[in-house]
Amino acid sequence: MRVCVVGQGGREHAFAETLRRTADVVVTPGNPGIEGSVVTPPSEIDADLFVIGPEGPLADGLADRLRADGRLVFGPGADGAALEGSKAWMKEVVSAAGVPTAGYQTFDGDPASCRQAHAYLETLSPPYVIKTSGLAAGKGVLVTDELAEAHADVDVKLDGTAFGDAGRRIVIEEGLTGPEVSLFAVCDGKRAVLLPTAVRDHKRLGDGGLGPNTGGMGCVSPLADVDRAVCSDLGALAFEPTLAELNRRGVDYRGVLYAGFMLTPRGPRLLEFNVRFGDPEAQVTLPRIRGDLAELLAAAAAGEAADCIDVSDDVMVCVVCAAEGYPSDPRTGDLITGIEAARALPGVTVFCAGVERAADASLPSDSLVTAGGRVLNVCGRGPDVATARKRAYEAVGSVSWPGMIYRTDIAAAASPRVSRT
Ligand code: AMP
Ligand code: GLY
């Protein structure tokens, strides 16, 4: 089988490496760190299966256009992608599906709605949660204990200052507390097949969860505190009812659904759906899937997903190595060294994200320089968290460029055990 992966980050590198076990893989546009990258647009590529990585092209209808052209595609159409592209619609769908989620109200930019938003905030207790409804590259959510900050955020979002049109519609939610956990399901339009392994991302830039929010600075899977039984309880709570509700609304959802939960003292609550694998969550999940990933995704794309998906219990820890200045203004053009030395270490995989070929002709032709915020995803794999973590950080010690930053506490925190209810 020939598979075309669409996207250019570490997630797509993980897709390409895992698919390559059983298939020919081409990646568009990819990056120079991913074997098989081509500049040809997807519509001009001849492949048996298209796997679309990021939310942007999905929300844009790339899957619809490829399907209209007779291609087999793993990834939802624009209608299903609105689960991520419109938080207001997502909340409506999951509420109709009976999925436990935070209480909420939706507001838009007209003056009456804006007044109601401020009035609704006054009825809530901290933490206050204000989300842009539209796509905002993971930066549209404010969680704060300060009511004045929450009021100010409502204003800058609704008047378009903060996120332009994506921010003019907001969702204000009841603030929840508890550990977070992410789960994935492969959907074939009718059924959602759970990946029985939980992932935890570290979203803040700095150690101890300090600093600005990022796309994700590292993650670990599986989680000692969320075993397979808890995974299937959470999956049954969210995926199947949502897929049934999507069906009722005429949405044929074929692709991955990513559910972010908060495990609150009052039980699990769904915080978000994404319509793609997480990045870097994919990097610690895809390589652990047992069996033929290409067949598995092709079957789901054709409406006939396998009954179950098996995932290894090995632990993977991913440490994101980022450029100085990330997330606001990453520095680019710095020469990256040590990738091959890191890859030579046992249990280590290095995925390339924000990289490009060095322009300097005096350097070896395969030299890479930084070209984005999150540059490399350095992963360690082992039988337990301690081993996987040690391997990941040893490998991080091998790679470098001027100004490289990373968190030193990925997978370090002991988490409370969550028991099956
Ligand atoms: P989202 O993109 O909707 O997942 O929100 C991003 C992050 O904001 C989540 O990972 C949580 O850390 C936090 N968050 C979202 N919704 C809530 C909520 N209702 N209560 C508390 N924190 C939240
Ligand atoms: N790492 C978070 C995400 O992919 O949305």
Within 10 angstroms of residue 211's Cβ, the number of other Cβ atoms is: 13
Q: What pLDDT score does 414 carry?
A: 52
Distance 271 CA to ligand 1 centre (A): 6
- Rounded Cα distance between 235 and 266, Å, is 17
- Rounded Cα distance between 97 and 240, Å, is 9
Amino acid code (one letter) for 73: V
- Rounded Cα distance between 276 and 74, Å, is 10
Distance 279 CA to ligand 2 centre (A): 5
Q: Using CA positions, which residue lies closest to atom 3 of ligand 1?
A: 272
Kindly state if the Cβ of 173 falls inside 6 Å of ligand 2: no
Q: Residues lining ligand 1, CB < 6 A?
A: 102, 127, 129, 131, 141, 143, 173-176, 180, 260, 271-272
Two tokens at 239?
């995926």
Place of tokens 């990946």: 195
Q: Which ligand lies nearest the alpha carbon of 281?
A: 2
Q: What pLDDT score does 62 carry?
A: 98
Q: Using CA positions, which residue lies closest to atom 4 of ligand 2?
A: 278
Distance 70 CA to ligand 1 centre (A): 38
Amino acid code (one letter) for 16: A
Q: Using CA positions, which residue lies closest to atom 3 of ligand 2?
A: 278
Q: In b/e form, how buried is each residue of 182-193, taking b as 16+ CB within 10 angstroms?
A: bbbbbbbbebbb
Q: What pLDDT score does 417 carry?
A: 46
Beta carbons of 73 and 63 less than 8 angstroms apart? yes
Kindly state if the Cβ of 17 falls inside 6 Å of ligand 2: no
- Which domains, and CATH codes, for the chain? 2-77 (3.40.50.20), 103-173 (3.30.1490.20), 315-420 (3.90.600.10)
Which residues make Cβ contacts (< 8 Å) with residue 25, sequence separation at least 6? 2, 3, 4, 5, 16, 19, 35, 36
What's the pTM value of the predicted model, to 2 decimals?
Answer: 0.94
Kindly state if the Cβ of 281 falls inside 6 Å of ligand 2: yes
Residues lower than pLDDT 70 in the chain: 138, 166-167, 414-421
Kindly state if the Cβ of 53 falls inside 6 Å of ligand 2: no
Place of tokens 């298209």: 50
Average pLDDT, the chain: 94
Beta carbons of 272 and 90 less than 8 angstroms apart? yes
Beta carbons of 68 and 43 less than 8 angstroms apart? no
CA-CA-CA-CA dihedral for 326, 328, 331, 337, to nearest 10: 10
- Rounded Cα distance between 289 and 160, Å, is 42
- Rounded Cα distance between 392 and 386, Å, is 10
Place of tokens 């599906």: 97
Beta carbons of 221 and 212 less than 8 angstroms apart? no
Which residues make Cβ contacts (< 8 Å) with residue 220, sequence separation at least 6? 199, 200, 284, 315, 316, 317, 318, 385, 388, 389, 410, 411
